[in-house]
Amino acid sequence: MLALFRAMPPSVSLGDSAAFIAQSQSPWDHGFEPPGYPLFLSLLLPIGPISIVVMQALLSLASALFTYARTKMLWLALSIVACPFLIVFDFQLLTETLACHLIWVGIVLLAWPRRSWDPVLAGIFFAAAALTRDTLYLMPLVLVLAAARSRFFKPALLAAAVAFITVTPWQVAHGTVKISDGRGGFALWIGTWERNADWQLPGIRNAAWPANAFRSDAERDRVIQAIARHDEGPLTEIALDRIRSQPHAVLQTWVVRYPRLWVGTRVDSLQLRFQRGGIAWYSLKLAFFALNLAILVIALIGAWRLRREPTARLIAVPIVYLGCILIPFHNSETRYSLPAMVPLLFFAGQALVTAARARRHSVSRPLSP
């Protein structure tokens, strides 16, 4: 992957990476901004940005080894360390790698328990994931629902309780129980009009706002002022008003934008080493696009076949949860669905393993007389 992408040294001055580095100076003092990743950065930045890439790669490796130790599925462990979509985010100072593996290890602890305290550990991992990506805050509740009427119900309930007990004090201390106080207002406002991510290519500070972002000059002034002073309350009010007053237009926007959450190359955040627009550049882009699409399609087949299995229902939670909770928010980049990638690999792999076994069985079966 390093031979394909210009990834070293990692970017420290662009987009979200720059914001996370700034927050790492005081991880616990940024309002609703979750402290998990800035805290992670604060421990490693004194050594240098390369150390963060190395640590994220080691976390991916540790997640794969833990997966093999608990499940004995060597193909799944190898998929985790070899998946290019996960590797791309190992190279970047973004929350995706940390959140992805925290969620997955928590699910493995629930789905393949060995000790009585595994649900408690799972809850701690889910809490750490929520403190890394705030959109994951409610996922333990969905795990409880998915585990209903199965042997996983009580462990999932315990894990959810531990997760909320761990996270809620920070939520209350920072006033984030109210949506109007959280950074969700900005993402919700964007979600009412955004159809693609082209507007943010120049950066948030120099955003190329499309014509449909504002309903009037007065609203534009109000939004720009709220963004400048980091006040998301007005953005929430404007977003909710637009949803109430223009429900059909907002719903159409959500529908048009939604495929971008899942379908794409998943590698656009890094620059290829090949000339843009050349044969090699297009070939690689097409290959990554095709691989991602194949994983999605085959995973859906695998998930459908395993839909009655209690373990499979637990593993499907990140896919279903992210697929639903992100609908009204800014979600025009596939990076936001990355925490669902390992579960997608699981279901795709199960579908392929099942197909391979069926083929071997049909080939080895003797011909009837």
CA dihedral 76, 102, 146, 68 (to 10 degrees): 30
In which band, very low, low, confident or very high, does the pLDDT at 197 lie, cut at 50, 70 and 90?
confident
Average pLDDT over residues 197-224: 86
Could you report the per-residue pLDDT of 248-300, keeping only the tens digit for each? Answer: 999 999 999 999 999 999 999 899 999 999 999 999 999 999 999 999 999 99
DSSP states of 198-228 as a string? GGGTT-STT----GGG-SSHHHHHHHHHHHH
Cβ partners under 8 Å of residue 288, min gap 6: 84, 85, 265, 266, 267
Q: CA 351, 100, 176: angle at the middle one, nearest 5?
A: 130
Note whether 194 and 158 are within 8 A (CB). no
In which band, very low, low, confident or very high, does the pLDDT at 207 lie, cut at 50, 70 and 90?
confident
Average pLDDT over residues 213-238: 89
Could you report the per-residue pLDDT of 149-164, keeping only the tens digit for each? Answer: 999 999 999 999 999 9
Q: In the chain, which ranges are E strands?
A: 5-6, 271-272
Q: Which of 77, 25, 88 has its CA nearest to residue 291? A: 88
Cβ partners under 8 Å of residue 281, min gap 6: 272, 274, 275
Taking each helix axis from N to C end, the angle separating 49-71 and 96-111, rounded to the nearest 10 degrees, works out to: 20
Q: Which helix (H) or strand (E) holds 230?
A: none
Could you report the per-residue pLDDT of 331-362, keeping only the tens digit for each? Answer: 999 999 999 999 999 999 999 998 988 888 77
Q: How are beta strands 5-6 and 271-272 bridged, if at all?
A: antiparallel
The pLDDT > 70 percentage for the chain reads 93
Could you report the per-residue pLDDT of 30-59, keeping only the tens digit for each? Answer: 555 788 999 999 999 999 999 999 999 999
Cβ partners under 8 Å of residue 202, min gap 6: 208
